[in-house]
Every structure is written in structure tokens, then in C-alpha cells.
A and B are shown apart, each in its own frame.
Chain A
Amino acid sequence: MENGGTQTDIVLLIAAGCMGMLILVVSIILFVVYYQKKVLAQKNNFQRELLSATVEVEEKERERIAKNIHDDLGMKLSVIKLNLSKISRNADNKAITESVTADNLKILDETIQSVRSIAKELVPPTLVKLGYPKAMNELCRQITNTGQLSVSFLPIDTHIQLPEKTGMQLYRISQELLNNIIKHSSATEVVIDLLENETCTRLLIQHNGKGITNTEINKLMSEQKGVGLKSIESRAQMINATVTYGFSDTGLAQTKIEISHARKK
């Protein structure tokens, strides 16, 4: 009887152990399923935010171009139109015709210049013709010439060739980052470095102003602020790059962009 009791106890103990293990396993599996769903939802949410930021940036850019065309080109073309109608009204008066025609030619020259500068803003010709390093060099020179900020571009290898799409997106990211430095950092000096190894291409932007960390960036993005930051993130994703904000060992604020050469699985 006692032996039977012991056996029952042991059987119960083993059965309880089995059940305990099963409950533990089921909990782990449920956690895995729940966690994956949560991560997926977060990822989808982030993608949606990035998409909306991209659209917003695109709309702002279109607005700016429209404003440029309306205020600059539109006005000049209207003046040309008025001048031409003046010429047609005063066809007999040679002096007026000559003077207005000269005016028109001058305005047409300015209009051509405006069209060129708008086109240059849209797609910098240096970027298309000579690639990212040369275009960055030019951009840095232009910013330095304003006297507000000294920007140096010091690529270790000046012959780095980036694919056209990568170069374009990296240039836009660099523009946005420099814009943020000018607007928010109160920096006086910026140093940009570009280097390439077997696994990745790395762009390092360091400045002596007020920096920002990844945590602060994530906070800004989660608070629905920083359309520019989201645009940077979205462009970085397009070229399989990661953007890291932080500080260098020497305490300088820095932003690191790493473009992985490995194709996404």
C-alpha cells in the first residue's frame, strides 16, 4: 500500500514536472508570437511615418519650386509680355522699340539664369557629371563662402565612385544634415570625411557645435517632429545605409552614415 502511495506520488511529481515544462514552453511560444506581432506593428508604423515624411518633404520642395517659378520667372515673363505689347503699340517709334527690345533681351538673359539656377538646385550638374565627392566639395565651398560656417570636405580617397542613385541620396542626406547644423548647432567648423572599405562606405560629419544623440533623434521622431530627420531616415533606407548620431572620442558632435555593400536579403 505504501509502495503504491510512493508510486502515485512519483507519477504525480513527474506529471506535474511535464505539465510545468509544457506551460513554460507554451508561454515562451506565445511570447515569441506576441513579440513578433508587436515588432511588425512598430515596423509598419515606422514605415508609414517615413512615407508620410517623404511625401511631406516632396510637397514642400514642390511648393518651393512653384514659389520660385511664380515669383521669379513668372514676374520676368510678365514684364517681357508687357514690353512686347508696348513694342507692338509703338511699332512706328523706333527709339521706344529699340529701348524696350534691349530691356527685353536683358530680362530674357536673367530669366535664362533663373531657369539654370532652379535646375541646378533640383539636380546639381556637378553631382550628375562628376559624382558625389566633387559635388560635396562644391557644396562645402559654397557654404564656406557665405562666411557663416567653415565646412571642409576631406575624403581620404578622392576617387570613390558611388552608384548614381546612392550618390544622389547621400548628397541629399548631406544637404539636410548640413542644413540642420547651420540651423540648430551654432557650430563654426564642420569637417566631412568619406572613406570606403570592402564592406561599407562611410561618411563622417563632425562639427564643434551642439550635437544630438540617437536617443534624442528617436524622441523627436516619435513626437511627430523633425520631418527632415524622417526624410534622412527614409533616404538612408533607400540606399541600405544606417545613420548614427553621437559624439566622437574627442567630444565633437558627429553623424556617421554607413552604406553597407552587402545586398539586403
Chain B
Amino acid sequence: MSRIQGMVEFILLSLFFIQIFSSSKQTLLIKAFIFMFMGVAAFDLYLNGFNSLDNISLTTECILLMIYSLLAFFHLLQNPVHDKILSAPLFWFNTAILMYFSGNLFLFVFSNYLENHFAKVSPALCGIHSLLNIVFYLLISIGFWKTAAPKQI
């Protein structure tokens, strides 16, 4: 199930980033990454089976989304829409994505190893994951809050 969730998550986030970038080169790059990710996910499925943890796809997803996120920051600096970057919803969405996926990168890389070698996953690692989840949703909420139109006087 987590495999399907990961694929849907990656495709939806890729579509989100396609909306952000106006340059056809970046859009093309994202489309190429979608196909690349599909290939990696299929390889992971073939290698580990449907019921195992999809750490290869998750790791690839993390790295690709970190690339998108860094590109989006570059785009924000190149095309400033708001006078203050902290007022831009994209800044908050992007920060959420970058923090969540970069923070979880090591967890995802070692998830299969931990499951295979240790009886139960360390509460400290679960704690880190939960904390990153909280931060992710908080930052996304701030992003939505910033999309609200300014009040008319």
C-alpha cells in the first residue's frame, strides 16, 4: 500500500512543481524525473516484492523532491512576486517539502535494513519521523494561511 501512496505522492508533488516553473526546460526535467521514478519504483517492486518496505523508491523520491525544492527556491529568488519572501505561500510549501524529505532521507535509506535486522524500530527514530511530520503540516498550514487574500480596508 505504501508503494502506491509513494507513487501518487510523488506524481502529485511533481504536478505541483510543474505549475510553479514557467520554463519549459524545468517542466521537461520534472516530466523526465516522473518517468525515472516510475522506472525505479518498478525495479524496487521487482527486487523486493509488493509487501516489503519500498526504501529504494522512497529514497529516490526524497532526492528528486529535494532537487525540485532547491530549484523552486532558485525560481523564487529569480522571480520575486512578493516584496518579502516570507509572505510567499510557495516559500512555506517549499520549505515544508525540503525539510520533510531531507530530514527523512536517512530514515528511508535505512528503513529496510532496520526492519530486517532489528525486532522493533527505535522510538527515537519514530520520534524524529513524527516530529518532521508535525513540522511539515505546520509549514503547509502557514503556506495556506499566506495564500489568503489581504483584507480590504
**Contacts A10-B114, A14-B107, A22-B99; A36 near B85 (Cβ below 8 A):** yes
* 8 Å CB contact of A7 from B76, B105, B106, B122: B122
Which residues in chain A, 1-42, are within 8 Å of chain B measured between CB atoms? Answer: 7, 10-11, 14-15, 17-18, 21-22, 24-26, 28-29, 32-33, 35-37, 39-40
Chain A residues near B77 (CB, 8 Å)? 32, 35-36, 39
| Identity of the chain B residue whose Cβ is nearest the Cβ of A32 in the assembled complex | B73
**Interface size of B in residues (CB-CB distance below 8 Å):** 30
Chain B residues near A10 (CB, 8 Å)? 110, 113-114
Min CB–CB distance A16 → chain B (angstroms) = 8
| Identity of the chain A residue whose Cβ is nearest the Cβ of B88 in the assembled complex | A36
Q: Quick check: is B52 within 8 A (CB to CB) of the other chain?
A: no
Q: Quick check: is B102 within 8 A (CB to CB) of the other chain?
A: yes
Assess the B102–A22 pair: CB atoms within 8 A.
yes
Chain B residues near A26 (CB, 8 Å)? 99
**Contacts A25-B99, A28-B98; A14 near B80 (Cβ below 8 A):** no
Chain B residues near A25 (CB, 8 Å)? 98-99, 102-103
Chain B residues near A21 (CB, 8 Å)? 102-103, 105-106
A175 to B103, CA, bound (A): 59
Assess the B103–A22 pair: CB atoms within 8 A.
yes
**Contacts A18-B103, A18-B106, A40-B80; A33 near B86 (Cβ below 8 A):** yes
Question: Would you mind naming 9 contact pairs between A and B with Cβ atoms under 8 Å apart?
Answer: A11-B124, A14-B107, A14-B114, A28-B73, A32-B77, A32-B91, A36-B76, A36-B80, A37-B85
